[in-house]
């Protein structure tokens, strides 16, 4: 049995077919007819013998053949029975449009599980339930009830849209189709009970005629398929642009109320998509805006744009937008500037943005003159022509002809707010046209960004998906945690676990008799400084002894079973960092690296990494921190030992990625980093292990 | 002479009139005729006796009357001569379209100054040169050469657009006019040689039929007029929305190259516009997007939106957008939820966003049922109907009728990507319609934000504009700076300026014999720690004496004329803040408050305040810092003494606002703040005074 059948079946049964073309049960027959479906159509409805000109069968058992694919429209229990019969008969894929399943509550969820089990037993795949349907306009396989394709009829083309939500399959379709962009596949997977949105996307991505894949993710469940999607897409350089709403707390709350699913933390979604070469759109507009650019056969060479305008104000707005959308404003080569100087009006500057000034009116040659040297400049990777004014006096036709030649090699966007009558030459030449400067630049930014992301992901190679380690865990106390991470090869401050005052004083001497720190050792508290169980800068036997007594007193109140106190060398360093790893409920282990100390929760400055990763990737993550300048040394300071931090982060990644270690989460905070060459050391550690693994309390490191 | 004349003159001379309606000199006559200008039209052209049906005069001297307003089209020196003659004759306003002045370089600048002086001597006002023109469609006074109003003819209405740039006058016009929104005034002031964009905006704002003013600022020069604009607009609750490009370094560089003008720092522009009740648009789309909302006669009651949709995905996207655009997602009252529960399908949740689910198809009553209780909920200040799918099966007509009733009281926006044919009922009812959820929410966000800003600015009352103190300044050394600010009533750490080692040791004892700091005192260096002229934690006579010798050695290399070293009490506190004030080249004195210490430049966390301001405004600025949670006390810590910081900031504001103090800039860094009640103290100070003011080096504080 193969899911592939759903895109081009030899036969389709429509369970619950209606003769009324305006009904949910009637509309799929309209779509199949209109879109030229060449397979056999087998309507099922016990009350009719004919449906929209097709012979109609009373039930599945009466069908003259086993339908390869079935569209299940009948509701609730009838849908479950239909799926059972279809599975038993040997149908390959059932597209279940019927709703009233897991989306309506526990009773529906049971029904959905039952249906899924019946299909799975026979090897039949289910898309849905609560799916808007599956549509492949190339084969006329349009298995959906939506009116969208009647309101705006499809034009076959290179775009595929795959969504969990039906409305979010239709909405990008509407925005693209109304601009005349051809769309080949539109799928909405609904409740994802069997076939997930990711698996459907892999199917769409495997169609070589699909050149752009737009994805709407509601809640990520099937991480493996998304990773597979990344792999398949990278292999043939297919741009995959994903929109996942719920980036803000308000959006996340709305998503939780709507889908009821665990969402995975939004920043982890970012890290995951980035790692797999999938570009994340900021919003629906961003999802579709760069479509014409993504469909260019040529890829860009970089992310620097040259802006050409007849208005200084447009130049400034475009430059602002370029920075906000991640594009560079290309510095021009000396020869390019010389070429511009020879044609521009005396007062115009030959810098980028190139302001042709109002001199362009009545002298449309000006554009033809500046374009070739600009396009030839190796620093120019894209061109934005911003025409806030055009019309009478401007040879827009000539602009379009000249630009179209250049656009063969370099991505080009045009912005112009004038009526279609005036801008038509650009559209006629297939040049992406926008009404405002910022929209044109935003499209270029998403295009170049998605391309760069594919390059980076391809360079890093495919990545195995790790399974979240969910289940009972146990927190090791500080001594055990430190011993654990030290054994695992992570740098830890020298320390001793002491069970009486004599051991504490002895430890003070063993550690060199210099200043030490004394901390209550317990797994019952994570914020120790508030509890009075930490003493710093102890420099003598008596200070150590006094501190031991005070800390043990305070510790007894917090955790009567605490094993003792830790005496550790008081070390100096440059900055307290945080290095940790935890389990995302969906994406599995995530390593966190960033600024450390007491206030990390209130003022987070962290970057996420999905293991496995290299030291270079950690260095890049450190460079993305707010405190990056400080880490590299400011105002005459030497750089800090970031290589040691990178090595430690890789080790933490290995620890949580390897299920044999039993490690579920690690937090090293502070991880004190010193000058370059002096390494870093964890001054504190908290380790959670899967319950049953590891010691409770460790000894000396 | 009055600028007012330019909006409705009794007579207009056109200097350089052409008979060819397609020429720059001919088009204004076309505009005047088409727009029904009722005054007398007086073309001037030595080569013709008739121009487009009007009697034409050979020169200004031959005119049968003194034109109230003249449009100067002839170029360069001819324009200067025309202005001279018009000024001498008694014309009130010359609109100079001619270019070739300050925008082309020094020679042009001289010509422009000459022209301006001639006009000023006679009291004539000049708009331009290099102006696209002045247009008042209400009176048909359309004094411009642009083809924009021929390509898309104007419809008179309540919007005014005032811009320096001609293209940025046309671009919002195009975007609005193509949506059928009526526009009354469009002005572009060009080089602002006399009448500034701000003054022109004040004139437009004074027209009671103008209900929304859109402003494009290229470089802010005339701060007073902008402040006056704020005052006039607040007085009658006129929304003023400003777009100023150059927010990013790339945009700023482009702006500098284009305008050549000092820009004023972008964050100061923000602070200034906020203080004066002017809302700043993010980009051109944002400038125009909320227009229909701003034109509602009723004002909003708050910034909380209820989102209603037939799609969960639209709910999530809208909620995300709401957070990003500063809107709240209103929590619904218990009665509202009960009312929703009684009509929604069983599985739908009665929370905001309100997901009507696909149940809306075929049951359009659902919307009519939920709308009244939602509109009646006092927490609901705005309504967003998001319809990603509509058409067959949806009673869009009924939705529009119901919404239009509610829209009388509450701002309403609709998003729907379907073709116009389907969405027409919304437009017919005047409901603001957008293609995507995020655009609809963005419009609401800008509308509510602009309204809230007017409320806040009105509550704070009008503010005097302060003049930047530009000119030679002198930096006081640290001792003099500290003495200066201490005298001015600011809290400063106890310290002594010592000229030999004996004084240093004596100071150590005078300061209590506890730990002290020793710093080289010089006006020649601002980053002292790198230079080895700072010693901390000195606790004995010998430590102080040794440090004195070492610091003096290092100091001699930096500044042989340094007056000595400062010995100061080593004080403890909670956080090092920064409190400073400097002169913005355009907006005058600006107070900066934020996180302090050594790394403020590399990792700035500051807020700006324009003096005069209150302690409450400082508290609000502190609350907007990244470190705000820390200032309020985290993890069991007590709050810091922010009232003392607020008082100090107000004092610093007074110091720089009062020209008699001679203070040009102040920097207190670190300003060490302690626990609540323990105040704050400057540990270091750098003061610049206008040259000639103040002492060079101060004594003890």
- Residue B173 CA to residue B157 CA, distance in Å, equals 12
Instruction: Quickly tell me which residue has 């079973």 as its tokens.
Output: A561
pLDDT computed for residue B264 by the predictor = 57
Q: Which chain A residues contact residue B255 at CB under 8 A?
A: 316, 319
Closest CA in chain B for residue A100: B347
pLDDT tens-digit readout, B634-675: 878 899 999 999 999 999 999 999 988 889 999 999 999 999
> Which residues of B fall within a CB distance of 8 Å from A315?
254, 258
| Length of chain A as a residue count | 701
pLDDT value, residue B464: 80
Per-residue pLDDT at B592 exceeds 70 = yes
Which of A81-85, A154-158, A582-586 tops mean pLDDT?
A81-85
Q: pLDDT value at position A558?
A: 84
pLDDT at A531: 77
DSSP for B519-563 reads EEE-SS-S--GGGT-EEEEE-SHHHHHHHHHHHHHHHHHH-TT--
| Cβ distance of A22 and B393 shorter than 8 Å | yes
Contacts of B627 in chain A (CB under 8 A): 603
Nearest to B151 among A105, A313, A418 (CB): A418
Q: What is the pLDDT of residues B193-249, one digit of tens each?
A: 999 999 999 999 999 999 999 999 988 889 999 999 999 999 999 999 999 988 888
CA B1 to chain A, closest CA, distance in angstroms equals 32
The pLDDT score that the predictor gives to residue B699 is 41
Looking at residue A640, the DSSP 8-state letter turns out to be B
Task: Output A435 or A697, whichever has higher pLDDT.
Answer: A435
Closest Cα in chain B, distance from residue A174 (Å)? 6
Task: Decide if pLDDT at A452 tops 60.
Answer: yes
Using the predicted structure, report yes or no on whether residue B261 has a pLDDT greater than 60: no
Summarize the confidence of residues B277-300 as an average pLDDT: 96
Distance from C-alpha of B548 to C-alpha of B361, rounded to nearest angstrom:
85
B700 — pLDDT class (breaks 50, 70, 90):
very low
Compare CB distances from B248 to A103, A324, A392 and report the shortest one's residue: A324
**At residue A529, does pLDDT exceed 80?**
no
DSSP of A48-107, one letter per residue? -SEETTEE-BSSGGG-SS--SEEEE-S-HHHHHHHHHHHHHHT-SEEEE----SGGG-HH
CB-side neighbour CA atoms (13 Å) of A127: 36
Residue A311 to residue B167, Cβ atoms within 8 A: yes
Reply yes or no on whether the pLDDT at A402 is more than 60.
yes
Tens of pLDDT, residue by residue over B143-186, are: 999 999 999 999 989 999 999 999 999 999 999 999 999 999 99
Q: Which residues of chain B lie closer than 8 angstroms to A384, CB-CB? A: none
B167/A635 Cβ within 8 A: no
| B250 neighbourhood in chain A, CB within 8 Å | 319-320, 322-323, 329
Contact A630 B599 (CB under 8 A): yes
Contact B347 A438 (CB under 8 A): no
Strand B564-569: give its sheet, edge to edge. B495-498, B564-569, B516-521, B534-538
Q: Which residues sit opposite A174 in a β-bridge?
A: none
Query: Over 90: is that where the pLDDT of A575 sits?
Result: yes
Predicted pLDDT of residue A563: 86
Using pLDDT thresholds of 50, 70 and 90, give the confidence band for residue B259: low
pLDDT at res. A527:
66
pLDDT at B248: 87
CA-to-CA distance for B282 and B289, rounded, in angstroms? 11
Residue in A258, A269, A441 to test binding to B, most B beta-carbons within 10 Å = A258
Are A414 and A431 spatial neighbours (Cβ–Cβ below 8 Å)? yes
Average pLDDT over residues B109-129: 96
What average pLDDT does the segment A361-384 reach? 93
Give per-residue pLDDT as tens, A95-132.
999 988 998 888 999 999 999 999 999 999 999 999 99
CA atoms within 13 A on the CB side of A214: 35
What is d(CA B80, CA B88) in angstroms, rounded to the nearest whole number?
Answer: 12
CA distance B116 to chain A (A): 21
Signed CA dihedral, B368, B369, B372, B377: sign only: negative
For residues A435 and B175, the answer to whether their CB atoms sit within 8 Å is: yes
Assess whether pLDDT exceeds 60 at residue B260: no
Report pLDDT for B635: 79
Residue A525, pLDDT > 80, answer no
pLDDT value for B671 = 97
What are A339's two structure tokens? 């070429």
Chain B residues within 8 A of A391 when measuring between CB atoms: 147-148, 150-151
| pLDDT tens-digit map of B340-359 | 999 887 777 789 999 998 88
How much is the pLDDT for B262? Answer: 47
The minimal CB distance from A347 to the residues B104, B251, B630 is found for B104
Nearest CA in chain A to B418: A174
Contact call for B436 and A283, based on CB within 8 A: yes
Q: A309 pairs with which residues across the strands?
A: A355, A386
Which range (A93-107, A157-171, A459-473, B44-58) has the least confidence?
A459-473
CB-nearest to A148 from B307, B389, B439 is: B389
CA angle centred on A309, ends A308 and A312, rounded to 5°: 120
Residues of A in contact with B439 (CB under 8 A): 285
Q: Which residue is associated with the tokens 């799929």?
A: A28
What is the value of pTM for the model shown?
0.94
Binning pLDDT at 50, 70 and 90, where does residue A293 land?
Answer: very high
Phi/psi-derived region of residue A458, left when phi > 0, alpha when psi is between -120 and 50, beta in every other case: alpha
Confidence of residue B392 (pLDDT cuts 50, 70, 90): confident
Measured between alpha carbons, how far is A68 from A124 in angstroms, rounded to an integer?
Answer: 10
In the structure, how many helices (H) and strands (E) does chain A have? 23, 31
Please check whether residue B229 is in contact with residue B202, taking contact to mean a CB–CB distance below 8 angstroms. Answer: yes
User: Cβ distance A190 to A131 under 8 Å?
Assistant: yes
Judged by DSSP in three states, A392 sits in coil
pLDDT at A684: 92
B247 and A439 within 8 Å at the Cβ level: the answer is: no
Band the pLDDT of B526: cuts 50, 70, 90.
Answer: low
Pick A655 or A529 by higher pLDDT: A655
At B218 the pLDDT is 87
pLDDT over threshold 50, residue B562 = yes
Residue B513 and residue B506 in contact, taking contact as beta carbons nearer than 8 Å: no
- Among all residues of chain A, which has the CA nearest to that of B421? A151
Determine the average pLDDT of the residues in A464-474.
83
Render pLDDT for A659-684 as a digit per residue (tens, 0 to 9): 888 899 999 999 999 999 999 999 99
CB contact under 8 A, A313 and B167: yes
pLDDT confidence of residue A258: 61
Cis peptide before A409 (omega within 30 of 0): no
Distances (CA, A) of A35 to A156, A179, A594, B229: 10, 20, 55, 60
Q: Rounded mean pLDDT of chain A?
A: 92
Cβ pair B245:A527 closer than 8 A? no
Name the average pLDDT for chain B.
92
Q: Are A193 and A112 in contact (CB under 8 A)?
A: yes
Q: How many Å apart are CA B112 and CA B102, to the nearest integer? A: 6
- The fraction of chain A above a pLDDT of 90, given in percent, is 78
Confidence of residue A282 (pLDDT cuts 50, 70, 90): very high
Lowest mean pLDDT among A11-25, A162-176, A359-373, B371-385: A359-373
């Amino acid at each position: 049995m193969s899911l592939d059948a759903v895109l081009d079946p030899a036969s389709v049964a429509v369970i619950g077919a209606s003769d009324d073309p305006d009904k949910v049960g009637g509309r799929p027959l309209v779509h199949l007819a209109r879109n030229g479906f060449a397979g056999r159509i087998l309507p099922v409805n016990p009350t009719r013998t004919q449906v929209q000109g097709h012979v109609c069968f009373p039930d599945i058992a009466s069908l003259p053949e086993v339908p390869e694919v079935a569209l299940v429209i009948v509701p609730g229990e009838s849908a479950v029975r239909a799926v059972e019969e279809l599975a038993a008969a040997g149908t390959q894929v059932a597209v279940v449009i019927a709703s009233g399943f897991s989306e309506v509550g526990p009773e529906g969820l049971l029904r959905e599980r039952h249906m899924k089990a019946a299909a799975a037993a026979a090897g039949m795949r289910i898309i849905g339930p609560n799916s808007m349907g599956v549509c492949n306009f190339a084969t006329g396989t349009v298995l959906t009830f939506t009116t969208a394709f009647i309101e705006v009829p499809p034009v076959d083309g290179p775009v595929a849209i795959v969504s969990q939500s039906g409305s979010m399959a239709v909405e990008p379709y509407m925005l693209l189709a109304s601009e005349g962009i051809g769309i080949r596949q539109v799928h909405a997977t609904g409740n994802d009970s069997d076939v997930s949105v990711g698996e459907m996307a892999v199917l769409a991505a495997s169609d070589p005629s699909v050149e752009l894949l737009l994805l709407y993710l509601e809640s990520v469940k099937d991480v493996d398929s998304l990773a597979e999607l990344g792999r398949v897409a990278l292999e043939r350089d297919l741009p995959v642009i994903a929109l996942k709403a719920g980036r803000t707390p308000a959006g996340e709350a709305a998503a939780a109320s709507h889908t009821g699913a665990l969402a995975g933390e939004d920043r982890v979604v970012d890290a995951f998509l980035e790692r797999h070469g999938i570009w994340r759109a900021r919003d629906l507009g961003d999802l579709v805006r760069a479509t014409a650019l993504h469909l260019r056969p040529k890829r860009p060479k970089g992310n620097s744009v040259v802006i050409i305008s007849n208005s200084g104000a447009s130049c400034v707005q475009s430059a602002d937008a370029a920075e906000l959308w991640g594009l560079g404003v290309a510095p021009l080569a000396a020869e390019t500037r010389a070429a511009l100087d020879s044609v521009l009006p005396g007062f115009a500057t030959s810098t980028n943005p190139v302001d042709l000034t109002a001199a362009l009116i009545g002298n449309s040659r000006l554009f033809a003159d500046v374009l070739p040297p600009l396009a030839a400049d190796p620093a120019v990777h894209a061109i934005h022509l911003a025409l806030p004014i055009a019309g009478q006096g401007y040879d827009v036709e000539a602009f379009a002809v000249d630009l179209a030649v250049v656009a063969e090699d370099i991505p080009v966007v045009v912005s112009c707010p004038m009526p279609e009558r005036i801008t038509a030459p650009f559209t006629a030449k297939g040049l992406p046209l926008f009404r405002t400067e910022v929209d044109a630049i935003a499209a270029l930014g998403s295009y170049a960004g998605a391309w760069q992301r594919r390059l980076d992901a391809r360079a890093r190679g495919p990545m195995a998906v790790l399974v979240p380690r969910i289940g009972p865990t146990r927190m090791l106390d500080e001594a055990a945690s430190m011993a654990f991470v030290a054994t695992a090869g992570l740098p830890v401050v020298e320390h001793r676990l002491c069970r009486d005052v004599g051991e504490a004083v002895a430890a003070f001497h063993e550690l060199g008799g210099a200043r030490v720190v004394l901390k209550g050792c317990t797994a019952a508290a994570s914020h120790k400084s508030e509890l009075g169980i930490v003493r710093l800068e102890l420099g003598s036997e008596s200070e150590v002894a006094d501190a031991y007594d005070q800390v043990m007193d305070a510790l007894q109140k917090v955790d009567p079973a605490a094993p003792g106190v830790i005496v550790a060398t008081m070390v100096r360093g440059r900055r307290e960092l945080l290095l940790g790893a935890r389990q995302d409920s969906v994406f599995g282990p995530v390593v966190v690296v960033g600024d450390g100390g007491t206030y990390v929760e209130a003022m987070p400055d962290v970057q996420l990494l999905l293991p496995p990763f290299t030291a270079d990737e950690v260095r890049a993550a450190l460079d993305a921190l707010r405190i990056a300048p400080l880490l590299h040394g400011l105002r005459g300071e030497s750089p800090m030992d970031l290589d040691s931090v990178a090595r430690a982060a890789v080790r933490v990644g290995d620890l949580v990625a390897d299920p044999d270690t039993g490690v579920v989460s690690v937090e090293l905070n502070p991880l004190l980093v010193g000058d370059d060459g002096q390494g870093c050391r964890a001054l504190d550690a908290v380790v959670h292990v899967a319950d049953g693994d590891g010691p409770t309390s460790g000894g000396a490191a």
